[in-house]
Amino acid sequence: MLGIQEVARQLDVTMRTLRFYEDKGLIAPQRVGTTRIYSRREIARMRLILRGKRLGFSIREIKEFLDLYDVDPEHVAQARQLLMKIGERVSALRKQKRAIDQTLEELRLLERQALTLIDGAATARNDDENKHDD
DNA sequence: ATTCTTACA
DNA sequence: TGTAAGTA
């Protein structure tokens, strides 16, 4: 059983973050008076929470997953839901990627046009100087 | 000195 | 989430 400070250090998060996820109902550390005491289970849940966050899942989705983790010992329902969520996440990321690719193409086009404009102006200037040489 | 809650950014 | 304020 560890204090909030130690847990925060181990997970590399702030105490604020631990209280935040508790407030969202993702973890429920024991209490000694008002002071929070974290068990091995809370720490394990926090690791899952942090990973879910890294993968881009919402707090709500992570909570749903965690809730199922408790009821279904075999984790079958979890696996199914996870599979569905992964599919959604992959689709969302692919959609974002398409948008990014489109933006990149547009920027490259604009870049070429800008370069052409600059090059064209320089060429015109040189031609003008040549006329004076005549 | 530490932790907690609440509220605002 | 960070930070500040006022407690226990």
A89 is near strand B: CB distance < 7 Å: no
Confidence of residue A114 (pLDDT cuts 50, 70, 90): very high
Distance from CA(A20) to C1'(C1), angstroms, rounded: 8
The partner residues of A35 in beta bridges, in order of sequence, read A32
> How is residue A64 written in tokens?
């749903």
> How is residue A86 written in tokens?
């992964």
State pLDDT tens for residues A72-92: 889 998 899 999 999 999 999
Looking only at the bridges linking them, the beta strands covering A2-3 and A30-32 are: unpaired
The domains found in chain A, sorted by start residue, are: 1-55 (1.10.1660.10)
Distance from CA(A78) to C1'(C1), angstroms, rounded: 29
State pLDDT tens for residues A14-61: 999 999 999 999 999 999 999 999 999 999 999 999 999 999 999 999
One-letter-per-residue 3-state SS of A39-100 = CHHHHHHHHHHHHHHHCCCCHHHHHHHHHHHHHCCCCHHHHHHHHHHHHHHHHHHHHHHHHH
Q: What are phi and psi of A34, to 5 degrees?
A: -110, -10
Closest nucleotide (CA of A19 to C1')?
B4
